[in-house]
Amino acid sequence: MSPSSAHLTRRPIALSDAAALSKLLNAIEVVDVFGEYYSEADAAEQITAPVLDLERGTIGVFDGEAMVGYSSAAHKQRAEGVHRVTLSGGVHPEYRQRGLGTELLAAGIACAKALHAIHHPGLELAVDVQNNVRNAGALACYRAAGMTPSRSSSHMRHPLGAAVVDTAVPEGYAIEAYTEDNDSDFFAVSNEAFLQRRGGVPQSLEQWRGLLGWQAFRPALSFLLRGTGGDTGIGIGTGVGMLLAFSWDADTEATGVRDLHLMRVGTRPACRRRGVASALLSHALRAARDAGFDRVSLDVDTDSREAVGLFERVGFTVARTEVVYTLTP
């Protein structure tokens, strides 16, 4: 590829673009450092996510067959009060400083407005985009589009080994790994634990199935804490806390580091401050260490001091920070 190569074309992204998208994302990673690498299969999973409307919500910029820029707008299937549309996008490092980033951001915002008008026209619209806090060029682009910083996220890592803190499972609880038989318990706990984050709207079963259908999902390292007796804060036999673990082979191949990512760690509100999350994290860290992983990672809202403090107490430290910019048209 060369910055001086021929005419650039633009069209909606299709599933057949998975290989081209993975190459673009990996080229962007080298410069922008999100800690994420993609195989063709990983990119295909992103393209087929149920929150994407490929025709109305995505744009790919191509130099011949090579994708050199993209934008996607992920709408919410369910929303109350505010409909938050999340933008993703990027430009190949060799094609920057041409105005493509500004063009793609404007296109993404336009897509967000169109999707909002289709799915939740009666609600307020908020358009979110997230990036590494060190990516000054992208942040300047967001500000120029009228977006303002609204929150930040900390990417935290645990080195395993001797740093694993052993925390006993509280009396009256038991831990079990994910299976098809307890899938409904995981789903119920996840929805109740994260209702506030999602604006009070439960995740759809379609989204849940899509998430757990990823090749990176590690069911044997995903755990549920179930109440078995005593004062659990909820009925006996009910799931009270859960965590979902993922590991991407493309990341391991690119870095040589086996990372287990805890994408979701949650406790039912009625069961908090009872040692549920600490027990789950301790169990997961030991399981990851025993399975030969080099580290464990997770992302947490920086403003959630209680959650950040919990993760710090079990040995996690902040590796990088990402910031969310928001536009409310």
pLDDT in tens, 146-195: 999 999 999 999 999 999 988 889 888 899 999 999 999 999 999 998 87
Last residue of a domain, one of 111, 146, 181: 146
Nearest to 308 by CA among 265, 271, 251, 248: 265
Last residue of a domain, one of 105, 126, 146: 146
Nearest to 172 by CA among 241, 233, 231: 231
Query: What's 97's domain CATH number?
Result: 3.40.630.30
Specify whether 284 is located in the same domain as 235.
Answer: yes
Specify whether 214 is located in the same domain as 239.
Answer: yes
Q: Is residue 329 part of a domain?
A: no
Read off the pTM. 0.90
Residue 247 phi, psi dihedral angles, 5° rounding:
-150, 130
Longest dimension (CA), the chain: 70
Q: Is residue 274 part of a domain?
A: yes
Specify whether 165 is located in the same domain as 140.
Answer: no
Q: 131 and 143 in contact (C-beta within 8 Å)?
A: no
Specify whether 268 is located in the same domain as 163.
Answer: yes
Specify whether 311 is located in the same domain as 226.
Answer: yes
Q: Is residue 172 part of a domain?
A: yes
Looking at residue 258, its pLDDT comes to 98
E-strand ranges in 77-182 read 82-91, 124-132, 148-158, 173-177
Specify whether 36 is located in the same domain as 173.
Answer: no
Specify whether 67 is located in the same domain as 109.
Answer: yes
Residue 91 DSSP symbol: E
Nearest to 75 by CA among 103, 102, 101, 56: 56
Looking at residue 1, its pLDDT comes to 45
Specify whether 168 is located in the same domain as 315.
Answer: yes
Specify whether 317 is located in the same domain as 200.
Answer: yes
Looking at residue 196, its pLDDT comes to 60
In the chain, the amino acid numbered 170 is P
Looking at residue 108, its pLDDT comes to 98
Specify whether 315 is located in the same domain as 243.
Answer: yes
pLDDT per 10-residue tile (average), the chain, 329 residues: 64 98 97 94 94 96 97 93 96 95 97 98 97 93 97 96 89 94 96 72 89 96 89 74 97 97 92 86 97 97 91 95 95
Q: Is residue 253 part of a domain?
A: yes
Helix (H, G, I), strand (E, B) or coil at 4: coil
Residue-wise DSSP of 27-82: HHHHHH--S----HHHHHHHHT-TTB-HHHHEEEEEETTEEEEEEEEE--SS-BSE
Q: Is residue 3 part of a domain?
A: no
Q: Is residue 49 part of a domain?
A: yes
Looking at residue 195, its pLDDT comes to 76
Specify whether 128 is located in the same domain as 240.
Answer: no
Looking at residue 194, its pLDDT comes to 85
Looking at residue 245, its pLDDT comes to 98
Specify whether 100 is located in the same domain as 197.
Answer: no
Q: Is residue 326 part of a domain?
A: no
As for how many domains the chain has, the answer is 2
Beta-bridged to residue 59, according to DSSP, are 71
- CA distance linking residue 186 with residue 68, whole number of Å: 39
Residue-wise DSSP of 248-317: -HHHHHHHS--EEEEEEEEE-GGGTTSSHHHHHHHHHHHHHHHTT-SEEEEEEETT-HHHHHHHHHTT-E
Last residue of a domain, one of 146, 180, 212: 146
Looking at residue 231, its pLDDT comes to 61
Residue given tokens 């109350």 in the structure block? 80
Looking at residue 257, its pLDDT comes to 97
Q: Which domain holds residue 128?
A: 8-146
Q: Is residue 1 part of a domain?
A: no
Those residues with Cβ within 8 angstroms of residue 314's Cβ, 6 or more apart along the chain or in another chain: 158, 165, 167, 278, 281, 282, 285
